[in-house]
Amino acid sequence: MKHEALAKQAVALVKPSIDVLFEQTNRKELHIVIVDPRLKPWECEFEDAILYQESICTSGHWEHPFDDFARNKAEQAWRDAQANIVVQTRHPSSLREGDLPFYGSFVYGNIVVACSGVEQWFDMLISGWIALAIEQLMIHERQTG
């Protein structure tokens, strides 16, 4: 299975959990960005490293540009090879002009996922679900394919 299809499958797999989580969140809109784990910052521009993106927007419009926010979080995590909560809370000297001051990314091995739209701790939770799902689906694919 191609990486993009696998990323899409991972998002679909966790969507029921996202729907349940939406019962507790401040809004019901979310943008998800998944970075291609095969690409590194020294090999390409960030925009070329985005593997898959998906929006969940029940209201029909964004209250804020959550798609831009999610891409910003993903770029921070991809650039630093760690969830952006680490840089923001422990190493803020590494932040660059234009970096979003909210966390919400998750890095698992070489998989970077970032979300924006709900509380930042829930953005990070959803990003983690998706990152873990991608890796485990890939393992399954390799074992059975």
Q: Is the pLDDT of residue 59 over 80?
A: no
User: Angle at CA 11, nearest 5°, toward 87 and 30?
Assistant: 60
Average pLDDT, the chain: 94
C-alpha torsion sign, points 121, 66, 109, 11: positive
Rounded percentage of the chain residues whose pLDDT exceeds 90 = 79
Tell me if 127 sits within 8 A of 106, measured CB to CB.
Answer: yes
The span from the CA of 30 to the CA of 70, in Å, is: 9
The first and second tokens of residue 9, run together, are 């499958």
User: What is the arithmetic mean of pLDDT over 116-122?
Assistant: 96
What own/partner pairs with CB < 8 Å and gap ≥ 24 does 59-66 have?
Answer: 59/27, 59/28, 59/29, 62/29, 63/27, 63/29, 66/29, 66/30, 66/31, 66/116, 66/117
**Least reliable range by pLDDT among 57-66, 79-88, 92-101, 115-124:** 57-66
Nearest to 129, CA basis, from 58, 32, 64: 32
What are the extents of the domains in the chain? 3-144
The single-letter DSSP state of residue 92 is: G
Predicted local distance difference test score (pLDDT) of residue 57: 82
Pick the residue with more confidence: 53 or 101?
Answer: 53
Q: Is the pLDDT of residue 1 over 70?
A: no
pLDDT of residue 107 exceeding 90: yes
What is the structure's pLDDT at 58?
Answer: 74
Pick the CATH number of 3-144 from 3.30.450.150, 3.40.50.2300, 2.60.15.10, 3.40.50.10860: 3.30.450.150
> For position 60, what pLDDT does the model report?
72
Angle, in degrees to the nearest 10, between helices 3-21 and 120-144: 140
Q: What is the pLDDT of residues 61-89, one digit of tens each?
A: 788 999 999 999 999 999 999 998 998 88
Q: Over the stretch 23-50, which tens digit does the pLDDT of each residue have?
A: 999 899 999 999 999 999 999 999 999 9
Q: Is residue 118 within 8 Å of 2, Cβ to Cβ? A: no
Q: Which residue has the higher pLDDT, 122 or 89?
A: 122
